[in-house]
Amino acid sequence: MVDRHELIKKLAVKNESKVLLLVLDGIGDLPVDGKTPLMAAHTPNLDALAKKADLGQTVPVLQGITPGSGPGHLGLFGYDPLKYQIGRGILEALGGDVEVGKDDLVARANFATLEGNVIVDRRAGRPVTEVSSKAVEKLGEKIKEIDGVKISVYPGKEHRFVVKFTAPWLDERISDADPQKEGKEIAWSEALAPEAERTAEVVNKFLREVKEVLKGEPRMNFALLRGFSKHPVLPTFDEVYKMRAAAIATYPMYRGLAKLVGMNVVKTGTTISDEVETLKSIWSDYDFFFFHVKKTDSYGEDGNFEKKVHVIEEFDGLLPEILSLNPDVVAVTGDHSTPAKMKSHSWHPVPFMIKSDFSRFGLSDQFNEYECARGTLGNIMALDIIPLMMAHAMRLEKYGA
């Protein structure tokens, strides 16, 4: 069987085209009172683009499978998420510019609220970064080593932070120390292989120390750890697709994902408007641009339909500035669906559209879940987005005689 990366590498050609992937994280949704957030939002610019674009839906992993953000984005970048199973910890660490060596094991951490032995809030009320950073600093001062394992902690965004365990014998084959849902008791990490038992013990001792250090905090009084991982090796984006790639994202995890596949992660501000200005400033320097909007996902997870609508409208208002750069190929999609009524990621297909001089347009005049479901592209795998964009950019040669 031919390896898809090897095939694309053989067919890929360089040219002067500009390729832009706009990702509204968790954009797919379900109707409330007959409308999804995309349908309820006032989006004249997305709809105008849809009139000139091919529309369809993407499947992030497989039908019926609910993806995490890691698999969702790997698929968008053209890396099979079933082949490349990447822990969330390494993504958060790399996105936060944490150096990860061969002896390091990293995990993504959430501050959480514990009552008795029950997790009542997995995000500790989403504290602002300035407040959570102080709690991280406190942990760093009090917890430096456990059973010969060096402990390092690094602040992230809001309730998130990174924990790095350093020792040559650490094993990533341990379960998440996270019950995944509120109202459940503490989930301690468990070894998934005999060789990982010592690692799980260290992680659980760390959590007990966290509980002791933070016992005076009203909301940030515990931590959840997931995505234990060491540094993997992947073929780089430039190596496979022959495109100089830049990533613009405000959250560490998505910067980490981009960095993992070899994209150049560009510093930017915290707002969508800041990201647009960053995109403008680097437009002449790269061939491919990954532009990430986070809050559509955050508000979906919070169950806040109205604020998800607001973020979509904010992005739509900035879309003309983005399109004024005249990309040869532009695609708009998400990494997965995050329905507000579910307050979580889901398995539902994700809206997708792609516009170039070679689009089969004319069937749709709006960008939403239902228009995409009847679009010209039908259902495609997220894994096929990059090759499709390359084809539209005339960056793939013919296969075979």
- Go through the domains of the chain in sequence order and give each one's CATH number: 4-86+234-392 (3.40.720.10), 91-229 (3.30.70)
Q: Which residues, in sequence order, are bridge partners of residue 246?
A: 264, 289
Tokens of 359: 């689009």
The SS3 of residue 224 is strand
Whether residue 287 is predicted with pLDDT greater than 90 in this model: the reply is yes
Residue 322 reports pLDDT greater than 70:
yes
- Residue 352 has what pLDDT? 98
CA atoms within 13 A of residue 172's CA, in its CB half-sphere = 21
User: Do residues 39 and 316 touch, judged by C-beta distance below 8 A?
Assistant: no
Query: Can you give the pLDDT at residue 157?
Result: 84
The bridge status of strand 118-121 relative to strand 104-115 is: antiparallel
Average pLDDT of the chain to the nearest whole number: 94
Q: What average pLDDT does range 50-57 have in this prediction?
A: 97
- Identify the helix (H) or strand (E) that includes residue 152: strand 149-155
* Residue 91, pLDDT above cutoff 90: no
Q: Across residues 17-31, what is the average pLDDT?
A: 97
Give the model's pLDDT for residue 178.
94
Decide if 86 contacts 72 (C-beta within 8 A): no
Average pLDDT for 13-31: 97
- 227, 88 contact by CB (below 8 A): yes
pLDDT tens readout for residues 140-175: 999 999 999 999 999 988 899 999 999 999 999 999
Determine the pLDDT at residue 92.
82
